[in-house]
Amino acid sequence: MPKIVTARHREDVRERARLYLKSRVMMPTIPLGMVGLLAGYGGVAWMWVQDELTPDVLMGSTVLFFWGAVWGWGHARYERYLVATCPEHLARKQKILESAKDYKKTRRDAPSAGPTHPGRRFVLAMYVVGILAQFGITGYYLGKIGAYAAIFLPWAGYFNAKVIFWRELFTRA
C-alpha cells in the first residue's frame, strides 16, 4: 500500500508542477511572443517601407531572433530539468498561488528557497551571462537595424522558443 500512495503523491507533485508552468509561465509567454514578433518585424517592415532595408539589416534581425531562440531553448531545457529532478519546488509555488487565490492562510514553515540540485551556481551564472549577452547584442544592433527590431526580436525569439519547446504542456490533457 505505501508504494501506491508514494507513486500517486509523486504523480500529483509532477502534475502540480506542470500546471504551474502551464498557467503561470507559458500562458503569459504566448502573447508576449506575438507582441515581440509584431513589434520587432514591424520595425524591419518599416525600414523596408522607407527603402532602408539592406542585407545587413536582415542578417542582424536574424541574428537577434536566433540569439533569443537559443536563450529561450536553454531556459526551457532548465525548466524541463526542474520538472524531472525537483518538481516539488514548482508544485510548492503552485500551491502557494492557489492558496492566495482562495484567500487561505499560507503556512509559514514552508521553505521559500529555490530548487536544490547540483549545478545551481552554474545555472545562476548562465542566467547572468544570458542577460548580459541579451543587453550586449541589443546595444550592438540598436543603431544598425532600428530600436524596435533590436529590442523586440530577441524577446520574440526567446518567448517563441519557449512555447515551441514546451508545447506538450498544451497537448497533454
CB atoms within 10 A of CB 24: 13
Q: What is the rounded distance in angstroms from the CA atom of residue 81 to the CA atom of residue 87?
A: 9
Q: Is the pTM for the entire model greater than 0.95?
A: no
Is residue 159 within 8 Å of residue 25, measured between CB atoms?
A: no
CB atoms within 10 A of CB 129: 11
35-81 pLDDT, tens digit per residue, is 999 999 999 999 999 998 899 999 999 999 999 999 999 998 888 88
Q: Does the pLDDT value for residue 110 go beyond 80?
A: no
Q: Does the pLDDT value for residue 104 go beyond 90?
A: no
Sign of the Cα torsion 134, 140, 142, 144 reads: negative
